[in-house]
Structure 1
Amino acid sequence: MVKPSNPPLSHGYAELLRASPFKSHAAAQAEERRGGQELPLIDLGGLRGGGERERAECAAAIARASSEWGFFQVVNHGVRGEVLERMRGEIVKVFGAPFEKKAVSGLLNNSYRWGNPTATSPTHFNWSEAFHIPLTKISEENCYGDFTSLREVMIEYASAMQELSKLLGGVLVEHLGHRKNLIDQMCDENTCFLRLNHYPPCQISSEVFGLMPHTDSDFLTILHQDEVGGLQLMKDSRWVAVKPIKNALIVNIGDLFQAWSNNIYKSVEHKVMPNGKVDRFSIAYFLCPSYDSVIGSCQEPSIYRSFTFREYRNQIQEDVKLIGHKIGLSKFMY
């Protein structure tokens, strides 16, 4: 018997299970138990304080990992460890609030989500809850309710992530022979956002996803995860568990960079497996362009037709509403 949870994930999952049987994720859990694999680990000190040679070597490592893995971890990234720890402490407090308070109090710009309301089968259900917060809202005092101490660290965290994401985006653009400030021109806080994630312990962890397999619909994502583990990515046609490294940040390429680079950089499918015993927390920063920005290939012949970010988002929302999950870039191929 599955105990009630905060939020009521077991109830939402049970409703879907009545209509469709589940598929066990035993193989994915076995991969997790093996301890995971370390992603390419890149020291960004060469970008920030090294000479011309060190910067070139660091930039080449970033581009190589973005092409071969679509994921990498970074250290010496410029985000203070104290800020990372404070953010984690604050989101633990927020997610510990009663379900009703999170869902109906207007907390964090009414951005609370749990499970997956568009799920049409158990494989589309997420055993998780999240706050999906636009950067334009995080400075507003009335967003935080009783959690006033979150505001200060959230502002500092978002600013550091925005700086780091544009640094990395500029490196990737410049590596392909373009002006690195192209990312600055396309991306601002109006469409970027933070997502605070909580994956409660799951007694049926062999049956569900913490976060179902997907690719990100942005330029790139920067993730700070705790040491529980659970993140897995697709590498060489198999799922690989990512081994956490304390205070390292995970960076992954999104769909827009794959399209813009003409498939040189890879937006890789990834998922989160829930833990049967302990809570998992993470914070993701998503670097997105303005809605009217045109995403066109940097090389010819182009694999994808040009499209705006607004057009891409609208297509994803339409697909999710129709079939329960995202299709993504394949709909924009020539």
Structure 2
Amino acid sequence: MVARGEEVISSILELTDGMEEIPSSHLVPSELRPTTKLDDWGPIPVIDMSLKDRNVLKKLVGDAARDWGVFQVINHNVSIPELLSVGEEVKLFFHRPCENKVKLELEPLKILDTEVYYTGDNTKEDLHSLYWAESLVCLWKSWSKITEKVTRSSDLIFPGGNEAFRSGTNEIVMGCRILTVEVLHLLAEYLGLEAGFFSDHCFPEGSSLFRWNYYPSCPRPNETLGAIAHTDPNLLTVLYQDEAGGLQVKKNDVWYGVQPMTEALIINIGDCLHIFSNAIFHSVVHQVLVNEKAHRLSLAAIYYLEQQTDMTAPDSLVTEKRPRMFKSLSAHDYWTMIFNERREHKFPKSLNGLEALRDFIRRPQEQTA
């Protein structure tokens, strides 16, 4: 078990001014520190979503989800110019004086009761993997009245109004939903299921959130991480990273860097899709490296199943060679288990859903078709 630090830090970004050493609260244990270079790029699949042959497209998407648990997409439905524009507004927020930003800071246990919050020191929370990063989160829960929710979020972040942020965010939200539904349809079809098998449990009542993460430059990047190795406990994540790079994914115990591509978005398979597909699709273990020279900005558009969803894999995905992998489990039960473990400081094991799921794996005598 690794304890998180207890030093009181309001803003990682402000802390870095003139810093030569990393506070003890943000030193990553030696066994978790990066072992490869930031630019050790891997052969992560890049998929053109505009391909006309759907059979080819679904095979590319399905193979990538099965073999890697992550892939990049180009020619998608999300406006990159709008995303970059909104990103500039978000940077303005992160570079505000600390006393202005902390007005949106909340106690961790109150997070689910709000729509917007800021975290200047993510080590205060045990709910996620972030370390050397600040975060701005828009939590929208269900998709009903999403445009109104985006407007309220914008007004909370920019009380004086910010049309570029509001309108741009609204466009990105809609584009990410279209992309997410399309990817989920392709994954379902790849498995021989109805196209809406996964997406119908996600929209319109599943929760969604936008998490902007800002990773300041770091004087000793080999002693910490932007985010410690983890999987995503949700269904699927659409991720944007800027040109600073830093995202790494793990395959066969080897870390590979995901090379930044201006026009690309990254799709991460989450724990719930891993369970729901009977482990045909793999929840990707990933981490974020920081660097000495540049700040890094990312956006994670995170999509959850409806809480009552029974994640038991369809019978058609169960065979003699691949028996039923997991005990019956609802989305709500899984999240409750994961977040309770994180609150109890079962760290860093609870950050990896593949490890946490060991208690839900069916034993040989329990496995039935």
The answer to whether the superposition gives a TM-score over 0.5 is yes
Residue number among 336, 343, 358 corresponding to 1:330 in the alignment: 358
2:168: which partner in 1?
153
Tell me, in whole angstroms, the C-alpha distance in 2 between the residues paired with 1:24 and 1:134.
29
Cα distance, 1:315 vs. partner? 0.8
CA distance in 2, matches of 1:21, 1:218: 26
1:171 lines up with 2:186 in the alignment: yes
1:255 CA drift (Å): 0.6
Q: How do 1:246-265 and structure 2 match up within 5 A?
A: 246-265=262-281
CA deviation map 1:128-172 (0-9, x unaligned): 011222235323154232452312111111111011101100110
The equivalent of 1:91 in structure 2 is 90
1:317 aligns with 2:339: yes
Give the superposition deviation at 1:119. 5.5
Q: Where do 1:61-100 residues align within 5 Å?
A: 61-100=60-99
Shift of 1:26: 5.6
Query: What is the alpha-carbon distance in structure 2 between the residues aligned to residue 280 and residue 21 of structure 1?
Result: 22
Alignment of 1:283-322 (within 5 A): 283-298=299-314, 299-300=317-318, 301-322=323-344
Q: Which residue of 1 aligns with 2:365?
A: none
Gaps of 5+ in 2: 1-10, 107-113, 141-145, 363-369
Alignment partner, residue 143 of structure 1: 156
What is the RMSD of the two structures over their aligned residues, measured on CA atoms? 2.7
Within a 5 Å distance, the mapping from 1:179-328 to structure 2 comes to 179-188=194-203, 190=205, 191-298=207-314, 299-300=317-318, 301-322=323-344, 323-325=346-348, 326=350, 327-328=352-353
Q: Distance in 2 between matches of 1:103 and 1:331?
A: 39
- 1:27 and 1:147, CA in 2 relative to 1: closer, same or farther beyond 3 A? farther
Rounded Cα–Cα distance in structure 2 between residues aligned with 1:129 and 1:75: 28
Q: Could you say if the C-alpha distance between residues 186 and 111 of structure 1 is closer, same or farther in structure 2, counting changes exceeding 3 Å?
A: same
| Alignment equivalent of 1:27, drawn from 26, 31, 35 | 35
Deviating above 3 A after TM superposition, structure 1's stretches of 4 or more consecutive aligned residues are 7-10, 15-18, 20-26, 105-110
Task: Indicate yes or no: 2:137 matched with 1:132.
Answer: yes
Query: Gapped runs of 5+ residues in structure 1?
Result: none
SS state at 2:240 partner: strand
Q: For 1:27, give the aligned amino acid.
A: T
Deviations 1:280-310 (A, max 9, x none): 0011111211111111112333111122221
Report the CA distance between 1:178 and its aligned residue: 1.3
For the residues of structure 1 that align with 2:219 and 2:302, how far apart are their CA atoms?
30
TM-score norm. by structure 1 comes to 0.87
- Bigger drift between 83-92 and 160-169 goes to 83-92
1:162 correspondence with 2:169: no
- Work out whether residues 161 and 222 of structure 1, in 8 Å CA contact, stay in contact via their aligned partners in 2: yes
Compared CA separation, residues 147 and 225, structure 1 to 2 (3 A): farther
Q: What is the deviation of 1:126? A: 0.6
Opposite residue 45 of structure 1, the aligned amino acid is: S
- Could you tell me which amino acid in structure 2 is paired with residue 139 of structure 1? T
Q: Which residue pairs with 2:110 in the alignment? A: none
Task: Output the amino acid matched with 1:16.
Answer: S
Residues paired across the two proteins, number: 318
Give 3-state SS (helix, strand or coil) of 2:324's partner: coil
Relative to structure 1, the CA distance from residue 17 to residue 184 in structure 2 (aligned partners, 3 Å threshold; closer, same or farther) is: closer
Deviation at 1:234, TM superposition (A): 0.4
Question: 1:331: Cα distance to partner?
Answer: 3.1
The residue matched to 1:39 in structure 2 has which SS? coil
CA shift, 1:99, in A, is 2.2
Instruction: Provide the C-alpha distance between the structure 2 equivalents of 1:42 and 1:143, rounded to a whole number of angstroms.
Output: 37
- Identity, % of aligned pairs? 26
1:148/1:186 CA distance change after superposition, 3 Å: same
The DSSP-based 3-state class of the residue aligned with 2:217 is coil
Tell me if the contact between 1:109 and 1:143 (Cα under 8 Å) persists in the aligned partners: no
Q: 1:238 to 1:21 in 2, by over 3 A?
A: closer
What is the SS of the residue equivalent to 1:182?
coil
For residues 283 and 147 of structure 1, do their structure 2 counterparts lie closer, same or farther at Cα, with a shift above 3 Å needed? farther
Task: State the Cα distance separating 1:98 from its structure 2 match.
Answer: 1.9
